[in-house]
Amino acid sequence: MNKDLTKKFSSGHATCAGCGIPAIVRTVLGATDEQVIVSNATGCLEVTTTIYPSTSWKVPYIHSVFGNAAATAAGIDAAQKALEKSGKLKNPAKIIAFGGDGGTYDIGLQALSGALERGHDFLYVCYDNEGYMNTGGQRSGATPYGANTETAPVGSQSFGKTQQRKDLMEIVKAHGIKYLAQANVAYLPDLKRKAQKALNTPGPSFLLVLQPCTQIWKFPTSEYVAIGKLATETNFWPLFEIEDGKYIINNIVKEPKPIEEFLKTQGRFKHLFKEKNLEVIKEIQKTVNENFEKLAKRAQIS
């Protein structure tokens, strides 16, 4: 694979210090030597890499609006197939759509569902920073229970977000696609392997990648890898893949750390450590345990 990680996506962008999104993009783009066309939803990645008159993209790139990165990818796939049929295209490019959790779990879910259901040949990558970071830190369908956000704030009558996050992996799996995987920017070799497998899978494929956000999660800019690792070490964010319906857990943590180890690193959860909110932490731990038990059962691990 291409070792020059700036060949398809250059430095000089405006992502925040300590942001892992560029590492996700370079890893995914570097997982293939074939030509790539990118569809990118409005969000952190788009606004920080396409500041007029400059761009960090060195591949064909289409900026889609917030909700239709998958629809744009579907259109590219349809166009390539039409050109192949007419004999005008011999080597179609790989198609990769990038979107944040706001543009994937929520605003773009309809377009993603349609593209998956129709079987378009593309890879969708969701960089999940668990909120609408580009627009000020509002809660999204990916925001964890108990987190403090601009639209689910902590106060005398609230401990933060009162809903559990969506199980997007199961939503995508329900479309019957051949390959989907959950990854983490703190584990780049695992992400690269999954990106290679996804790009070599005919039809639609999907990667859900955890991306800790220094700005809204509220932690020092040097800590995003350490916090990403804690997400997996506590089983909050297990690494796994689903291939032809078969679940495989890639990193079984023999002695998971308590969820407090993950929560205490982030300002968005600091209110939970007050006496009146300690029950919320117990509920989060209970949910993490239950979710991992479900995953282990699906992977047939006792």
Give residue 12's pLDDT.
84
Identify the three-state secondary structure at position 214: helix
**β-strands 94-100, 158-159 pairing:** unpaired
Residue 15: inside a domain, yes or no?
A: no
pLDDT computed for residue 158 by the predictor: 93
| Structural domain contains residue 34 | yes
Q: Tell me the β-bridge partners of 6.
A: none
Count how many domains the chain has. Answer: 1
Flag whether 10 is in a domain: no
Residue 238 falls inside a structural domain: yes
pLDDT at 20 (0 to 100): 95
Decide if 3 is inside a domain.
Answer: no
- Supply the range of the domain harboring residue 159: 21-298
In a domain, 2, yes or no: no
In a domain, residue 199? The reply is: yes
**Cα separation of 191 and 30, whole Å?**
11
pLDDT at site 5? 60
Cβ of 31: how many Cβ atoms within 10 Å? 24
pLDDT per residue, tens digit, the chain (302 aa), is 445 666 899 988 989 999 999 999 999 999 999 999 999 999 999 999 999 899 999 999 999 999 999 999 999 999 999 999 999 999 999 999 999 999 999 999 999 999 999 999 999 999 999 999 988 899 999 999 999 999 999 998 899 999 999 999 999 999 999 999 999 999 999 999 999 999 999 999 999 999 999 999 999 999 999 999 999 999 999 999 999 999 999 999 999 999 999 999 999 999 999 999 999 999 999 999 999 999 999 999 86
pTM of the model: 0.96
Q: What CATH number is associated with residue 273?
A: 3.40.50.970
How far from chain centre, in Å, is Cα 139? 15
Sheet arrangement for strand 123-128: 61-64, 36-41, 94-100, 123-128, 205-210, 179-184, 240-243, 246-249
Whole-number pLDDT of residue 216: 93
